[in-house]
Chains A and B, each alone.
Chain A
Amino acid sequence: MSKSAPTLSTAADLIGGFTMDVFERHLSSLPKAPAWWLERKRAAYARFAALPLPARTDEAWRFSNLSGINLSGFAPAERDPKPHPQDPADALAVAPVASLVFVNGRLSGGALPPPELVAKGVVISTLYEALAKHPDLLREHFMAQPQKLGSAKFAALHEAFVEDGAFIHVPKGVEIQKPIVVVHSVSGMATAVFPHTLVIAGDNARVSVVDHFTSADKHRHFACGANDLYAGHGSRIAYAAAQCWSHETLSLQFNSTVVRRDARVQSLNLHLGAKQARHESLSQLQAPGGFSEMLAVTVATGSREFDQRTLQIHQAPSTKSDLLYKNALLDKARTIFSGLIVVDPDAQKTDAYQSNRNLMLSDDAESNSLPGLEIQANDVRCTHGATSSRIDPEQEFYLKTRGIPQKAANELLIFGFFEEVLNRLEDDELHAALRTLIRTRIHL
């Protein structure tokens, strides 16, 4: 047998702009932190530097544009960021119960939660505050889940360089109806940011969180973010993310959801920005009665690439998951959807669904679907479906006969296409806000 081809990536390719020097500078710039935290960061850096870049033969990166995953030239954001005005088009019209605004990774503003929630023990603060006040919770949940979707290297990079992030803990039995909004904003040429949101819902708690990723300028950024949702027994988490990075940004996002007994998590990711965006979403259904609903809406325009990888793992009997990812492809855009449902042995009575729908609106667009199943229990209901097709000509014709111009008709039909996903949101205000964001981004 022949030897494998010599690897072309050098040490410099492996770490790009994130050298040991840069890492040490990052550590020294941090506010005072406990030793275990710094230890973890050092260990993460070592993992990041040692792990190889994704290769063409990695199944987890099949169809991805690997040449776009280039870390060179980026540097962590400078300290003392000036709060910068947000593009009004990107504003999210939601009235939150509390908010946190991070600019280049550091807290720059927000709205405190009402005192009655604080009195009930609700924590809406930053990772650094949690390090001091809730170290045990942070230790238990921060980046605690396995990286199974191909980005172990980049998740380690995130852990090594994370500046700060949102820490949300809703204790047992507390219910918050209105959403908590977390804004992650980036500015400056070649800035790297590491947005983080950690949501812990205690038993029977209820919380709604919205992450809003946005760029203050049109520069090239690198966003390497993670968010972890932990739903304790009987709890409910409604999570939504609106990704509106600048159109030159490289975005890598790792999303992990843990669902305990009878808990219910709904997660909706709206992808609008970035030049190349990879989104990994892992759902672990760990106890009976758990339900994970995974939703995504992507507007792929220009020559952008949206690469979505999902994994639904049913680890206990009688759990349910339901995935619906819809992509509208315009111009020369590319999308990749790679989903896998895993049913562990003994996870009987699993009910899992996975669906990827691609609406092709241009002759130059390309969609790739890899809907997968790995089933090791027999008493299950597992189905998946993937479709790629254009707008129904009959619907188009109907709108034409009513005198609606082509562009407006297409826009209507795209919204019709997305409505099936957006309708799953229980919060009407959020629904309307996301619709507005989509509308500003569609240039037909």
Chain B
Amino acid sequence: MSEITDSETLEAAPDNPVSGIDQSSGNFKYDMTYDFDAGTGLNERTVDYISSVKKEAAWLHDFRQSALKVFNSKPLPTHWATKDLENINFDKIRYYLSQGLKPKRTWDEVPADIKRTFERLGIPEQERKFLAGVEAQFDSEAAYSNIKEAVAKQGVIFMNSTEALREHPEIFRKYFGKVIPTGDNKFSALNSAVFSGGSFIYVPPGVKVSHPLQAYFRINAENFGQFERTLIIADEGSELTYMEGCTAPKFSTATLHSAVVELVALKGAKIQYITVQNWSSNVFNLVTKRGLAHDEAEIKWIDCNIGSRLTMKYPGVVLKGRKARGEVISIALANDGQHQDTGAKMVHAADETTSTVVSKSISVGQGRATYRGVVHIPRHLKGCKNNTECDALLINTNSRTDTYPAITVRGDRHAVQHEASVSKVSAEQIFYMQQRGLTEGQAMSLSVNGFVNDLARQFPMEYSVELKRLIDLEMEGSVG
């Protein structure tokens, strides 16, 4: 395996206590030597390299190459999105870095430097405490992957996508790229060309996975692009909760994270997908996430964005079967220098489908939080319902928030409503708490936590505690 260079390079504490503080838990990196490195920049040879390292089948190699052509042909979506996208230099990014392709099944086998990273982030500890399975991805490939025996015995498959393509090609290929086609957008095309890692989950009919499965994504190398591909299939009547967390150290140059996540909930299945994104503030986080819900199935995205320089992420549900249900719960916190451009897409494609979007954003300092949403109800359906609520909280006088929903309704047998409001923390509340002996900062934190509380309560316990801690940290120094 690789040599371990022991020069642990911790970044100096950032000058701005507000903007840097949230990343403190993930802001470290270890110098690594990689066995596989696709070099810098992207062309056909990069794709060939990734495909050959992974010993992929010809169809997949062709799929990647044609995706690269789509990526090159599509312009950046700057006619509606932020011009900041133009600051991504695709020629300076490293597209594939790994230390071997086979993830370890026990933490003892994981190379010491990688293991140290995940131990610092508390992953093995969390696994022991409450998870049914864990997958830990370090740059391009999974370093660790394990599923509890009891869950595996139920027939649940949980592995990274590289392994799944080898071991379960028949299931993988059937659903892969069907929910999010290559040409969906420029970044889904990029992912399709160079994807590596990500989770693959299959839950057999009727199986209810009692504990969450978790994946952890870590970027360690500078100028690196992480492109994981996650595919989750919940067969008829099954249930699953999946959680993902992500961190990266704070480099001086931009890092790109561009994942594609596809969910398929077959008849009556339920998928809950929870993300707590805490990338460092140099990461461009451009992710395409979509689920396909068949008859009476339910897909729920809980999406929490705290870190990154720019996040553009609009989890969606295509409600394909009668009485399918889709839900997006989104919490975004934008601090100085950050733009959280998040939202939801609900495409109703069958009768009596219902969807709910609840979005709460908090803008601190000069942070910018944007809600962007699509609700689409096509012709000749009946009984579709959507309810969307967006609330924005502005902490400082120069904070910014935007709301850009797009709602299309055809026909007279539906009910759709959208509401949004913008407010600041009530001065009366702060005064009341200060009068009871809290400092202004504590009062502000408490008030912000109150603002997201009804959503945070829907998170698993550990995550809502973590969210509260992150909000407290972000709010530190934001008043005065």
Residues of A within 8 A of B (CB): 1-2, 4, 57-59, 62-63, 329, 345-346, 348, 358, 360-390
Chain B residues 410 to 438 lying within 8 A of chain A, measured CB to CB, are 410-424
For the complex, what is the distance from the CA of A345 to the CA of B399, rounded to whole Å?
9
For the complex, what is the distance from the CA of A310 to the CA of B75, rounded to whole Å?
29
Most chain B CB neighbours (cut-off 10 Å) among A345, A361, A376: A376
- Determine which of A57, A361, A372, A383 lies in contact with B419 in the assembled complex, contact meaning CB atoms within 8 Å: A383
Most chain B CB neighbours (cut-off 10 Å) among A4, A364, A372, A380: A372
Contact of B360 with A by CB under 8 A: no
Min Cβ gap A249→B in Å is 25
For the complex, what is the distance from the CA of A366 to the CA of B407, rounded to whole Å?
10
- Determine which of B73, B402, B410, B417 lies in contact with A2 in the assembled complex, contact meaning CB atoms within 8 Å: B73
For the complex, what is the distance from the CA of A368 to the CA of B377, rounded to whole Å?
10
Contact of B270 with A by CB under 8 A: no
Residues of A within 8 A of B424 (CB): 378-380
Contact of B128 with A by CB under 8 A: no
Verify A370–B409 contact, CB threshold 8 A: no
Interface CB pairs A-B, < 8 A, 22: A329-B412, A360-B413, A363-B413, A365-B410, A370-B407, A371-B403, A371-B418, A371-B420, A373-B403, A377-B394, A377-B397, A377-B398, A378-B395, A378-B399, A380-B394, A382-B422, A383-B421, A385-B417, A386-B418, A387-B418, A389-B414, A389-B416
Of all chain A residues, the one with the shortest Cβ separation from B401 is: A375
Verify B413–A373 contact, CB threshold 8 A: no
Chain B contact residues: over half helix, strand or loop, or mixed?
strand
- Determine which of B397, B408, B411, B415 lies in contact with A363 in the assembled complex, contact meaning CB atoms within 8 Å: B411
Chain B residues 424 to 455 lying within 8 A of chain A, measured CB to CB, are 424
Verify B397–A379 contact, CB threshold 8 A: yes
- Determine which of B408, B413, B414 lies in contact with A63 in the assembled complex, contact meaning CB atoms within 8 Å: B408
- Determine which of B72, B396, B397, B420 lies in contact with A373 in the assembled complex, contact meaning CB atoms within 8 Å: B420
Whether A386 contacts B405 in the complex (CB less than 8 A), given A378-B396, A380-B424, comes out as: yes
Verify B410–A375 contact, CB threshold 8 A: no
Most chain A CB neighbours (cut-off 10 Å) among B73, B76, B408: B408
Residues of B within 8 A of A (CB): 72-76, 79-80, 379-380, 392, 394-424
Verify B380–A374 contact, CB threshold 8 A: no
Whether A59 contacts B396 in the complex (CB less than 8 A), given A364-B379, A372-B402, comes out as: no
Given contact pairs A378-B396, A390-B413, a sample of 16 additional A-B residue pairs in the complex whose CB atoms are under 8 Å apart: A58-B79, A329-B412, A361-B412, A364-B410, A366-B408, A367-B410, A371-B418, A372-B403, A372-B404, A373-B392, A373-B403, A374-B402, A378-B398, A380-B424, A386-B417, A388-B409
Residues of A within 8 A of B406 (CB): 62-63, 368-370
Min Cβ gap A187→B in Å is 36
- Determine which of A366, A382, A383 lies in contact with B409 in the assembled complex, contact meaning CB atoms within 8 Å: A366
Min Cβ gap B393→A in Å is 9
Min Cβ gap B347→A in Å is 15
Of all chain A residues, the one with the shortest Cβ separation from B388 is: A386
For the complex, what is the distance from the CA of A198 to the CA of B333, rounded to whole Å?
45
- Determine which of A4, A367, A378 lies in contact with B397 in the assembled complex, contact meaning CB atoms within 8 Å: A378
Residues of B within 8 A of A1 (CB): 72, 75-76
Verify B401–A373 contact, CB threshold 8 A: yes
For the complex, what is the distance from the CA of A376 to the CA of B408, rounded to whole Å?
28
Residues of B within 8 A of A63 (CB): 406, 408
Residues of B within 8 A of A377 (CB): 394, 397-398
For the complex, what is the distance from the CA of A134 to the CA of B75, rounded to whole Å?
51
Residues of B within 8 A of A4 (CB): 75
- Determine which of A364, A368, A380 lies in contact with B422 in the assembled complex, contact meaning CB atoms within 8 Å: A380
For the complex, what is the distance from the CA of A4 to the CA of B73, rounded to whole Å?
9
- Determine which of A59, A366, A388 lies in contact with B79 in the assembled complex, contact meaning CB atoms within 8 Å: A59
Residues of B within 8 A of A358 (CB): 409
Min Cβ gap A363→B in Å is 4
> Can you list the 4 inter-chain pairs with the closest CB atoms, starting with the nearest?
A378-B394, A360-B412, A388-B409, A373-B403
Residues of A within 8 A of B415 (CB): 387-390
Whether A384 contacts B394 in the complex (CB less than 8 A), given A366-B409, A370-B404, A372-B405, comes out as: no
Verify B400–A376 contact, CB threshold 8 A: yes
Residues of A within 8 A of B74 (CB): 2
Residues of B within 8 A of A383 (CB): 419-422
Min Cβ gap B89→A in Å is 12
For the complex, what is the distance from the CA of A330 to the CA of B397, rounded to whole Å?
45
Verify B419–A362 contact, CB threshold 8 A: no
Verify A57–B416 contact, CB threshold 8 A: no
Verify A57–B79 contact, CB threshold 8 A: yes
Min Cβ gap A371→B in Å is 6
Of all chain B residues, the one with the shortest Cβ separation from A346 is: B397
Residues of A within 8 A of B79 (CB): 57-59
- Determine which of A360, A384, A387 lies in contact with B420 in the assembled complex, contact meaning CB atoms within 8 Å: A384
Of all chain B residues, the one with the shortest Cβ separation from A5 is: B75
Residues of A within 8 A of B397 (CB): 345-346, 348, 377-379
For the complex, what is the distance from the CA of A208 to the CA of B253, rounded to whole Å?
60
Residues of B within 8 A of A345 (CB): 397-398
For the complex, what is the distance from the CA of A21 to the CA of B202, rounded to whole Å?
70
Verify B405–A375 contact, CB threshold 8 A: no
- Determine which of B75, B379, B392 lies in contact with A375 in the assembled complex, contact meaning CB atoms within 8 Å: B392
Min Cβ gap A16→B in Å is 25
Of all chain A residues, the one with the shortest Cβ separation from B386 is: A388
For the complex, what is the distance from the CA of A378 to the CA of B417, rounded to whole Å?
25
- Determine which of B407, B413, B421 lies in contact with A382 in the assembled complex, contact meaning CB atoms within 8 Å: B421
For the complex, what is the distance from the CA of A388 to the CA of B418, rounded to whole Å?
9
Min Cβ gap B376→A in Å is 10
Residues of B within 8 A of A374 (CB): 400-402
Min Cβ gap B73→A in Å is 5
Residues of A within 8 A of B414 (CB): 360, 388-390
Min Cβ gap A425→B in Å is 26
Whether A367 contacts B409 in the complex (CB less than 8 A), given A378-B397, A379-B424, comes out as: yes
For the complex, what is the distance from the CA of A378 to the CA of B398, rounded to whole Å?
7
Min Cβ gap B416→A in Å is 5
Residues of A within 8 A of B80 (CB): 59
Residues of A within 8 A of B411 (CB): 360, 362-365
Of all chain A residues, the one with the shortest Cβ separation from B78 is: A57
Residues of A within 8 A of B394 (CB): 375, 377-378, 380
Of all chain A residues, the one with the shortest Cβ separation from B387 is: A387
Min Cβ gap A360→B in Å is 4
Of all chain B residues, the one with the shortest Cβ separation from A384 is: B420
For the complex, what is the distance from the CA of A199 to the CA of B339, rounded to whole Å?
42
Residues of A within 8 A of B413 (CB): 360, 363, 390
Verify B412–A369 contact, CB threshold 8 A: no
Min Cβ gap A385→B in Å is 5
Of all chain B residues, the one with the shortest Cβ separation from A62 is: B406
Verify B409–A360 contact, CB threshold 8 A: yes
Of all chain B residues, the one with the shortest Cβ separation from A330 is: B412
For the complex, what is the distance from the CA of A4 to the CA of B78, rounded to whole Å?
13
For the complex, what is the distance from the CA of A142 to the CA of B408, rounded to whole Å?
37
Residues of A within 8 A of B379 (CB): 363-364, 366
Most chain A CB neighbours (cut-off 10 Å) among B80, B413, B420: B420
Min Cβ gap A355→B in Å is 9
Residues of A within 8 A of B398 (CB): 345, 376-378
Residues of A within 8 A of B401 (CB): 373-375
Residues of B within 8 A of A373 (CB): 392, 401-403, 420, 422
Min Cβ gap A7→B in Å is 14
For the complex, what is the distance from the CA of A80 to the CA of B404, rounded to whole Å?
48
Min Cβ gap A3→B in Å is 9
Verify A369–B418 contact, CB threshold 8 A: yes
Verify A2–B75 contact, CB threshold 8 A: yes
Verify B422–A363 contact, CB threshold 8 A: no
For the complex, what is the distance from the CA of A337 to the CA of B140, rounded to whole Å?
45
Min Cβ gap A315→B in Å is 16
Min Cβ gap A97→B in Å is 41
Verify A363–B412 contact, CB threshold 8 A: yes
